[in-house]
């Protein structure tokens, strides 16, 4: 079997991979998408399922018509399928459907924080979505990363010890959207629980690439809260997921209020519905849920362990080839094996990151992302940018800000595509003085 065979066999599962994109020369080429950490193209099965369901589309939890009953049933049953996918106990956990991971973490930030004095431990490697929502509601402390950008378990334990009794939550990414590092979420969970804190995992980058096991709540290393987005798992129809203990939403008032959230309302009082209804104000996104469930079924059919291994092989291959190119700067640990999803950040000495991304797109049809990937403090750290320099970008907003170029793989990317990328990078490096 050829090196590419298995990888290529996944390509027919994805929409749009044969699309040609225009280059600045006027030529057209079949595009290469190495920007899967931002969003993934849809599965064919997802689009088919959405189209198949569309004639039955109707309101959820609001109508008595036949189609409305079908739509409501699919929507309600989906929670069980999601819980099963992440191995969460359906007796104890519930699923709240939201727009995406960002909305999910914001929602939890309203619900989990009782007082501005309680401490949340975030980390120095988070996406803004797992940092900013906490800042105005509690005292945030950041767990350090080492010189390669890996999370420091020692610092986590030091901080848990130092703030013992006040740390309500450890909130951590399952996998970094900048370096791809996979955090040992169960080890972190066990530590957090030992010190009386809960753990929230931002699963946006992890759930599409690895098997998730939230475990039973009586296991010391179980996950308390998990949040993820369907648009990063081949189901781009605007749905995201919070998996959380039912208890978490039982008491209190939802931050969004309106249709579908109540049992009884008078001018004098409101009796809120039970969760999850209470937390899903407005008409639910049933098409998003249909898409998500179809994606979960496809991912399970392919086998998360298979995908993990395959993406690892492709990432190792890309790294091995990139390391040999002069003037390439790679970030994080690239010599020793570390657990990572298929994400590689880099720069080319002497060429601004925006320029590299532009050349890849306009000269070769290769889509990447460049900049700070909504994780500015982490990227500033990886680039060793002193605070004074960052201030300068504040006072001179027209200056090009420092950043990285990022390639990120999906399950359908191939060795041939990596070879095409490497040959373009080689050409950029060779001609770099003309860029
Ligand atoms: N957070 C997404 C990314 O890393 C959008 O690109």
374 lines ligand 1 (CB under 6 A): yes
Is residue 171 predicted with pLDDT exceeding 70? yes
What was the pLDDT predicted at 106?
97
Average pLDDT, the chain: 96
More confidently predicted of 5 and 104: 104
* pLDDT (mean) for 373-385: 97
Reported as a pLDDT band with limits 50, 70 and 90, residue 2 is low
Q: What percent of the chain has pLDDT over 70?
A: 98
What was the pLDDT predicted at 388?
87
For residues 133 and 106, what is the distance between their CA atoms, to the nearest angstrom? Answer: 5
For ligand 1, atom 2, the nearest C-alpha belongs to 38
Assess contact for 68 and 60: CB atoms under 8 A: yes
For ligand 1, atom 5, the nearest C-alpha belongs to 38
Reported as a pLDDT band with limits 50, 70 and 90, residue 5 is low
For a substitution probing ligand 1, which of 125, 373, 375, 403 has the most ligand atoms within 8 Å of its CB?
A: 373
What was the pLDDT predicted at 261?
95
Rounded to 5 degrees, what are φ and ψ at 371?
125, -135
In the reported structure, the alpha carbon of residue 37 is separated from the centroid of ligand 1 by a whole-number distance in angstroms of: 6
Reported as a pLDDT band with limits 50, 70 and 90, residue 8 is confident
Q: Whole-model pTM?
A: 0.96
For residues 244 and 167, what is the distance between their CA atoms, to the nearest angstrom? Answer: 19
* 41 contacts: CB under 8 Å, gap ≥ 6: 14, 15, 16, 17, 33, 234, 236, 410
* pLDDT (mean) for 162-191: 98
For residues 108 and 146, what is the distance between their CA atoms, to the nearest angstrom? Answer: 28
What was the pLDDT predicted at 387?
83
* 76 contacts: CB under 8 Å, gap ≥ 6: none
340 lines ligand 1 (CB under 6 A): no
3-class DSSP state of 140: strand
Over residues 275-313, the pLDDT tens digits come to 999 999 999 999 999 999 999 999 999 999 999 999 999
Over residues 53-97, the pLDDT tens digits come to 999 999 999 999 999 999 999 999 999 999 999 999 999 999 999
């Amino acid at each position: 079997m050829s090196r590419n065979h298995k990888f290529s066999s996944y390509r027919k599962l994805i929409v749009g991979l044969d699309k040609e994109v225009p280059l600045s020369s006027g030529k057209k080429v079949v595009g290469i998408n190495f920007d899967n950490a931002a969003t993934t193209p849809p599965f064919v099965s997802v689009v088919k399922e959405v189209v198949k369901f569309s004639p039955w589309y109707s309101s959820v939890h609001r109508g008595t018509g036949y189609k409305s009953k079908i739509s409501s049933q699919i929507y309600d049953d989906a929670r069980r399928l999601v819980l099963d996918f992440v191995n969460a106990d359906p007796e104890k956990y519930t699923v709240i459907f939201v727009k995406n991971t960002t909305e999910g973490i914001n929602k939890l930030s309203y619900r989990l924080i009782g007082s501005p004095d309680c401490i949340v431990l975030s980390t120095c490697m988070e996406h803004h979505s797992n940092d900013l929502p906490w800042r105005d509601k509690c005292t945030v402390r950041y767990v350090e990363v080492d010189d390669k950008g890996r999370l420091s378990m020692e610092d986590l334990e030091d901080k848990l010890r130092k703030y013992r009794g006040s740390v309500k939550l450890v909130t951590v990414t399952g996998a970094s959207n900048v370096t791809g590092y996979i955090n040992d979420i169960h080890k972190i969970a066990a530590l957090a629980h030992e010190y009386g804190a809960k753990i929230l995992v931002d699963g946006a980058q992890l759930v599409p690439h690895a098997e998730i096991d939230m475990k039973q709540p009586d296991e010391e290393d179980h996950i308390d809260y998990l949040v993820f987005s369907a648009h990063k798992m081949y189901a781009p129809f605007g749905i995201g997921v919070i998996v959380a203990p039912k208890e978490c939403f039982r008491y209190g008032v939802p931050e969004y209020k309106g249709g579908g959230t109540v049992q009884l309302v008078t001018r004098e009082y409101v009796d809120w519905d039970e969760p999850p209804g209470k937390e899903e104000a407005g008409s639910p996104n049933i098409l998003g849920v249909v898409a998500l469930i179809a994606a979960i079924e496809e991912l399970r059919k392919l086998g998360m362990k298979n995908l993990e291994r395959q993406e690892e092989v492709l990432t190792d291959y890309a790294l091995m080839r990139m390391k040999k190119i002069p003037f390439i700067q790679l970030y994080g640990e690239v010599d020793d094996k570390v657990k990572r999803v298929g994400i590689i950040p880099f720069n080319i000495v002497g060429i601004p990151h925006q320029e590299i991304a532009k050349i890849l797109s306009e000269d070769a049809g290769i889509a990447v992302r460049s900049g700070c990937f909504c994780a500015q403090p982490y990227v500033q750290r990886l680039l060793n940018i002193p605070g004074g320099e960052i201030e300068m970008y504040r006072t001179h907003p027209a200056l090009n800000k420092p950043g990285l170029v990022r390639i990120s793989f999906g399950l359908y990317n191939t060795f041939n595509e990596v070879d095409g990328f490497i040959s373009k990078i080689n050409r950029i490096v060779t001609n770099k003085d003309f860029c």
